[in-house]
Chain A
Amino acid sequence: MTRYVIRRFLGMIAVMFTVVTIVFVIVRVAPGDPAAVMLGPDATAADIATLREKLGLDRPLILQYLYFLGQLLRGDLGQSIFLNMPVLSALAERAEPTFFLTLFSILIASAIALPVGILAAYKRGSLFDQVATTLAMLAASIPSFWLGLIFIQVFAVRFSWFPVSGYGGPDASFIVRLSHLILPATTLGIVSSALITRFTRASMLDVLNDDYVRTARSKGMGEFQVVMKHAFKNALIPVLTVIGLTAALLVSGAVVTETVFSLPGVGNLVVSAVLRRDYPVIQGALLVIAALYVLINFVIDMLYLVVDPRVRY
């Protein structure tokens, strides 16, 4: 077990190093120049060259890379070119909306997907199953920006129940800030629930016909107990994997929803950094996202141990 953890940890470092290197090369090979973006369209070539020198972008790539690695080893992700603050602080500022958006989205997705998936499998072929499967397909097909705009029009504009966008003003309390997440989290939750529903249903179908389920029933156990205690627990491993991966995707991939709702999250930060060619932010944010991705996968693997006693590392 300890060996496994160490192996996974070393693997994490290798993955992150690879990500960092690829990202470093790609952002610099891609056309576009932060100095030109910063100075605006009227800037002369001389202005751009001066700023490039100031930002250290005129140095050979290998030197920039080594300098960047040196910074990383000191735990420094660098300084944002545009935000005039350390990348770590920029990420920290965006951690709260991203964390809660991901959490709420996963909670909403699970709250919809798990019961629907279980019931659809249990009542395989029934009207409920067909409706659930169709709705899941529909939810998977809906673009999140469209659903987000519909929610805004109905719940924010027509009924004024929720704010349209943003994450609260300067004096917004924690609760007010969280209220800004209800519509985006519901949007993401519904869209994400499709995949989880289908996995839950498929996984449940696999186990519901297994011998131990039949045995449990023959022992006279109640249906609820059979389904939830015996079948669902065993069906949980692939479902957990999907939930975990969905959560990891949401950390970085909620960009469209974050844009529609103007949420100052990590995804938004990465997109604006790419558009502005803010190299340190792109590198730092992707490094943190990669770390989270690997970490979530690791946590899922550890959860397997809890869910399935047969799993050994």
Chain B
Amino acid sequence: MLRTLRYVGAAVAALTFGSMQPAEAQQRGGAATVATIGEPNTLDPMVSAGDLLGMITQHFYETLYTFDKNWELTPLLAEKLPEVSADGKVYTIPLRQGVTFHNSQPMTAKDVVASLKRWTDLASRGKLVAGNIQAIEAIDDNTVRLTLKEPFAALTALLAFNNSAAVVMPADHMENPIKEVIGTGPYRLKERKADQYIQLVRFDGYKPREGEPNGFGGARKQYLDEIRFVPVPDANTRVEGALAGQFDYADLLPVEAYDRLRGQSKTEPLMLESFGWAMFIMNNKQGMMTKLDLRKAVQAALNAEDMLAAAFGKPEFYSVDGAMYPKSYVWRTEVGTEAYNQGDADKAAALAKKAGYDGSPIRILTSRQYEFHYKMAQVAAEYLKAAGFKVDLQVVDWATLVQRRAEPAVWDIFITHSPFLPEPALIAPLPDTYPGWWASETKNKLLTAFNTEMDQKKRIAIWADIQKLIYEEVPFYKVGDFNALTAKSPRLQGFTASPWPYFWNASLKQ
């Protein structure tokens, strides 16, 4: 989940690092070694929303749509963007012809229909829309029709994600768990040795789209013979490996390593701005945080800037920003953000008194698996104590946190983070069912309007109302935005920094 959907970061990075495109012609050949943060739990991108999984599997599994360099939707396995009926309920999806799977079978509408059905059965994103789907059917060999019960504006975006992804698999290879990895991507899986490497080789039968590369979309060129994803869980070792030139790309490095990576001959740092945002989720279902005034007291007590400074060090690695989207997004609005970053102990104490706070400790659930969560929790605890709260900081491993947060009786606040989603409807804590259980009537009314509205301008206006409501009802507290640091070898050319780094279009200088 580290990187599920980090869009703005990539958009900024694309602007920042666009100049890294090579001036000379790219050469074909070579094997790129990519150091990742660990081993993915599975190679089936439908069953998990893991970022690492999406980063790896996007090389061999493809979706109908994807995102271009401006994070606009663009077709991938589909021939073009869907034709949507006037009532917003019927999506007609023409497919590209001549696409073959890694087992040489041609991709047809039958495969796409079977894949979409599997996606609605298995994938958390698929399930978001499953109840709203009336039919998925093949009109002919190259056209699929998806009929909804109610309009759902976020559908095409959902179909474009590369984790919990609506990837297309052959209809006769739909097992769960998958037995054989067969996709349509530019690279195919040759060998996986868990905790050692995942070896991908060029798929010779790949048919790229016409034109030039454009973000995740456009033509996908296969310069590299091989891509090797190597799990290196220790972040310091990834830094050393980059410095030694052992890795052509090293993912997610500690921001403190930035100075060491600069001016090196075998590697160079890449900074992805606004990579993600951290949040404190309040328990809206059970316990003291169900009282609005107490949630507002916490909101008043917290000082976001200090929490970010403790978590990320230098100001260039974070941004004190209360808006739910950074500046480069159409969804950006500052409505309601005056309630952000107050750090006002007196106001918090008054609100707590008004709420009848009885001195019980606020149970904050956090994990050191994400060290920045823990550091934020420590600073938050001090600000809450200054406002007169008692705090019970419960530090557990991430697996325990994920389990405990599902039990409303055992926590008041838990800390998590998210990338910036190109589609606000998919922000994790918005649905009633997400732990935190924000089930406000006003929210549901606004969300329904937002999801069924097909006019983008109207949707932007509704989103501003939702952000305002977030600051009024305080279902969660946005701490701020943070950047990510990665590194690449100078010999890796044609590579564009991205939240989910991809290595088609990249080549190695021989």
Contact = CB atoms under 8 A, between A and B. Distances in A.
Given A37-B399, A40-B124, A269 B42 contact: no
Interface stretch (A8-16, A256-264, A304-312): A256-264
B230 A264 contact: no
A41 B402 contact: yes
Given A38-B47, A164-B246, A260 B237 contact: yes
Contact of A31 (B47, B190, B369, B403): B403
Contact of B196 (A38, A84, A166, A260): A166
Interface residues of B, number: 52
B291 interface: no
Contacts of A93: 193-194, 196
Contacts of A152: 237, 240, 244
Nearest to A43: B124
A259 B403 contact: no
B228 interface: yes
Contact of B240 (A90, A149, A167): A149
Interface string A24-44: 000000111100111111111
Interface string A75-104: 000000011110000100110000000000
A83 B199 contact: no
A230 interface: no
Given A153-B240, A275-B399, A39 B47 contact: yes
A36 B399 contact: yes
Contacts of B41: 37-38, 82, 276
B293 interface: no
A94 B196 CA distance: 10
Q: Which of B48, B196, B232, B397 has the largest number of chain A CB atoms within 10 A?
A: B196
A264 B124 contact: no
A259 B233 contact: yes
Contacts of B228: 169-170
A271 B398 CA distance: 14
Interface in A251-310: 259-262, 264, 268-269, 272, 275-277
B164 interface: yes
Contacts of A260: 234, 236-237
A297 B487 CA distance: 47
A36 B433 contact: no
A47 interface: yes
Interface stretch (A105-113, A155-163, A236-244): A155-163
A38 B44 CA distance: 11
Interface residues of A, number: 47
A160 B237 contact: no
B195 A41 contact: no
Interface in B379-430: 396-400, 402-404, 406, 416, 428
B304 to A, nearest CB: 22
Contacts of A45: 406, 433
Contacts of A234: none
B127 to A, nearest CB: 7
B49 A166 contact: no
Given A32-B400, A40-B50, A272-B39, A156 B194 contact: no
A165 interface: yes
B402 A36 contact: yes
B191 interface: yes
Nearest to B164: A42
Interface string B35-54: 00011011000011110000
Nearest to B178: A84
A37 B402 contact: yes
B48 A262 contact: no
A31 B400 contact: yes
A83 B197 contact: no
B177 A32 contact: no
B321 to A, nearest CB: 23
B378 interface: no
Contacts of A268: 195
Nearest to B242: A164
8 tightest A-B CB contacts, nearest first = A32-B399, A264-B195, A31-B400, A164-B241, A40-B49, A41-B1, A264-B196, A157-B244
Interface of B: 1, 4, 31, 33, 38-39, 41-42, 47-50, 124-125, 127, 164, 177, 190-191, 193-197, 199, 228, 230-234, 236-237, 240-241, 243-246, 369, 396-400, 402-404, 406, 416, 428, 433
10 contacts: A38-B48, A39-B49, A45-B433, A84-B177, A152-B237, A170-B228, A259-B233, A261-B237, A262-B237, A277-B399
Given A39-B48, A164-B240, 9 more contacts: A40-B48, A94-B195, A149-B237, A152-B237, A156-B246, A165-B241, A165-B246, A169-B31, A170-B190
